[in-house]
Chains A and B, each alone.
Chain A
Amino acid sequence: MALTAETLDQLQGEPGWLRERRQNALAAYETLQLPSKTDEEWRRTDVSRFNAAEYSKLEHLDGLKLERPSGLPAGVILKPLREAAKDHPDLVEPRLFSLVHADRDRFAALHAAFFTGGTFLYVPDGVEFDQPVLGQHFSHAGGNSVLPHTLIVAGRGARFNYLDEYIAEDDTEAGYRSGSTEIFVGEGSQVGYVAVQKWGRNVWHFADQRAELQKDSNLRLFNVTLGGKFSKTRVEASLAGEGSNAELKAIYFASGEQFFDFHTLQDHRVGNTRSDLLFKGALQDVARTVYAGLIKIEKHAARSDAYQANRNLVLSDKAKATSIPMLEIDNNDVRCTHGATVGPVDPEHLFYLRSRGIPETTAKRMLIQGFFGDVLDRIPFEHARKLVEAELEARIG
């Protein structure tokens, strides 16, 4: 059995437009080729052993626990995405998969055809609230597909925080997972978004996180990747309005045989826009990571300011991090800085700590935590910061 049109029959009760969209995505999936090693984006990322047919059971459309902040202001819509597609087609239909395109590649198509759980959050113009919205996506068993999709719409001047947490009940589960997010950052709005991926160690994970920022808006996006034997995440910000500001940060910790791939895009489409990206990761054992990031300054994007850095702490001789920063600039009146580092724990730092009596394992743990320290400080809200610190501490050991 494979993921086919019959699989779609598991998804009952959806409006016609959504059903049609799924069928189109499925058609795209069937037409698109598996990426090959000659494709630059996939040159170091081997998907040849991924067989979606092994995971044709779609796990529960209810695998979502949404925690509503108490006293959520009137007009805010927060519900499972499939339900929202029925209840609010005016809000959902024009936006769903308009940032993350279903026909981008075979995996995006597969996700768009079969996405199951997921959240829709709509915050109307001028509405602000402090307590974060928490979306928890669970997988209860291996051998299946869990494909949640998050759609967030921030009205003008809205301000709020949202956390997506991808949780496996069994760390050894095998399966197919995704966790894609589209964020519409309205004019003058301020959105904090955190995604924490901690699926089991034997799953295939594909995610597309893409945001579009309108005039004077501010996005703080923070990605945490910990799970999966294979995890590919694209993080993209499209700066579409003047004065918009995107902060894209991430941490990853890869161990055992894990392979993580990150592709990022800071697309400055108009002038006076700012983006600030920092991806920091630690690798141990025989883990491998690939980071490739593009700063794109389009022709009319004068006076833009873009920063991009990828830092890797390599904790074993057999772990390998590859970092590829890229620039594409079509306007001269801009400021762009980028850089990448790949290296072990600094032996002088280790010696200094040990010379004060701190045992080697403790000193190394402190240095790893210290490495992540500055980026952890950028997690946009307290609840997520505590969660991530605890997750990291458990993994650093």
Chain B
Amino acid sequence: MADFEIKDLRASVEGRQILKGVSLAISMGEVHAVMGPNGSGKSTLSHTLMGHPGYTVDGGSVLFKGQNVLELEPDERARLGMFLAFQYPVVVPGISMANFLRTALNSKRGYDGKDKSKQVTPKEFRSMMKSELEVLHMDDSFLPRYINDGFSGGEKKRAEILQMAMLKPEIAILDETDSGLDIDSIKFVAEAVNRMRGPELGILIITHYTRVLEFIKPDYVHVLVDGKFVLSGGPEVAERLENTGYAEWGHAEEEPKEVA
């Protein structure tokens, strides 16, 4: 059995069914890409997996570490080892990035304000941060700033990957992390993600475009159309999409190569 198993997942938004039975098995060390045209259900998949309250699960299960994560709260899923890099990271005024990251790390370690031995020390925090910042070509001037406040599109996405590197998830979902990024930013992000690849991490990349897959090579590619996988296979699936687009599934206008 795979480490992370999505079985016949069905989900709806505001009464409209979007996911119509999605199954996917991810084992540690694997990188899976889910590709699909606009409106195919990509965002619904990522949000449902993380437990966004705006999405309703209509059926199916997601098994991870012996639990059906669909029954867990979003923060429980994260503490179990899941991570979502948001397509549109929100600006949260009044909370500094440093406070946010520290609290997230402490929560993950089970520090509840009592057992100080579990608490991340300032020194530890700084050293964890340092090498990741370099890879992502960021400096620590963003730490005192409010969460994502005044960040450019590229900075927001890089900050998401930084959070991933700090929190060390076992299952990471990258939701259109490449969209809206220039080529340099994509390279920085890909380098950071590739550094994390290994037998302790399973990755699900959700994307509209093939470009990011040149830098983060997937082991498996799944094509999502109208809430269902219509094709699954190896990296050659991405190549096929690169050439023919989503036309064969009736989405001729959708170009999987990003026009810069």
Interface residues of A (CB under 8 A from B): 346-349, 351-360, 362-363, 366-367, 369-374
CB neighbours of B146 from chain A (8 A): 370, 373
Query: How far apart are B206's CB and chain A's nearest CB, in angstroms?
Result: 15
CB neighbours of B199 from chain A (8 A): none
Interface pair A359/B75, CB less than 8 Å apart: yes
Given A351-B52, A363-B75, are A357 and B104 neighbors across the interface (CB < 8 Å)?
yes
Interface pair A355/B92, CB less than 8 Å apart: no
Q: Known pairs A353-B104, A358-B107. 14 more at Cβ < 8 A?
A: A346-B90, A352-B86, A354-B74, A355-B74, A355-B84, A356-B107, A356-B163, A357-B79, A357-B104, A362-B103, A363-B75, A366-B100, A369-B95, A374-B94
Interface residues of B (CB under 8 A from A): 50-54, 73-75, 77-79, 83-84, 86, 89-90, 92-95, 99-100, 103-104, 107-108, 146-147, 163, 167
Interface pair A358/B103, CB less than 8 Å apart: yes
CB neighbours of B107 from chain A (8 A): 356-359, 362
A356 (CB) vs chain B CBs: closest residue: B104
Cα separation A360 to B78 with both chains bound (whole Å): 12
Q: Which residue among A354, A370, A372 has the maximum number of chain B CB atoms within 10 Å of its CB?
A: A354
A372 (CB) vs chain B CBs: closest residue: B94
CB neighbours of A373 from chain B (8 A): 93-95, 146
Cα separation A318 to B74 with both chains bound (whole Å): 26
Cα separation A355 to B86 with both chains bound (whole Å): 10
CB neighbours of B77 from chain A (8 A): 355
| Contact with A358, one of B51, B53, B75 (Cβ below 8 angstroms) | B75
Interface pair A352/B92, CB less than 8 Å apart: yes
| Contact with A356, one of B52, B54, B90, B100 (Cβ below 8 angstroms) | B100
Cα separation A349 to B90 with both chains bound (whole Å): 7
B52 (CB) vs chain A CBs: closest residue: A351
Cα separation A355 to B94 with both chains bound (whole Å): 18
SS of A interface (majority): helix
| Contact with B92, one of A347, A359, A362, A367 (Cβ below 8 angstroms) | A367
Cα separation A301 to B93 with both chains bound (whole Å): 35
CB neighbours of B84 from chain A (8 A): 355
Interface pair A349/B73, CB less than 8 Å apart: no
CB neighbours of B104 from chain A (8 A): 353, 356-358
| Contact with A360, one of B75, B89, B90 (Cβ below 8 angstroms) | B75
Cα separation A348 to B53 with both chains bound (whole Å): 9
Which 9 A-B residue pairs are closest in the complex by CB-CB distance? Answer: A370-B94, A373-B94, A357-B78, A356-B104, A354-B75, A370-B95, A354-B74, A357-B107, A357-B79
CB neighbours of A372 from chain B (8 A): 94
CB neighbours of B86 from chain A (8 A): 352, 355
Q: Which residue among A352, A363, A374 has the maximum number of chain B CB atoms within 10 Å of its CB?
A: A352
CB neighbours of A349 from chain B (8 A): 90, 92
Interface pair B90/A348, CB less than 8 Å apart: yes
Interface pair B103/A366, CB less than 8 Å apart: yes
Q: List 27 A-B contacts (CB under 8 A).
A: A346-B90, A351-B52, A351-B53, A352-B90, A353-B92, A353-B95, A353-B100, A353-B104, A354-B74, A355-B50, A355-B77, A356-B75, A356-B100, A356-B104, A356-B163, A357-B78, A357-B79, A357-B107, A357-B167, A358-B75, A358-B104, A359-B75, A360-B75, A369-B94, A371-B94, A372-B94, A373-B95
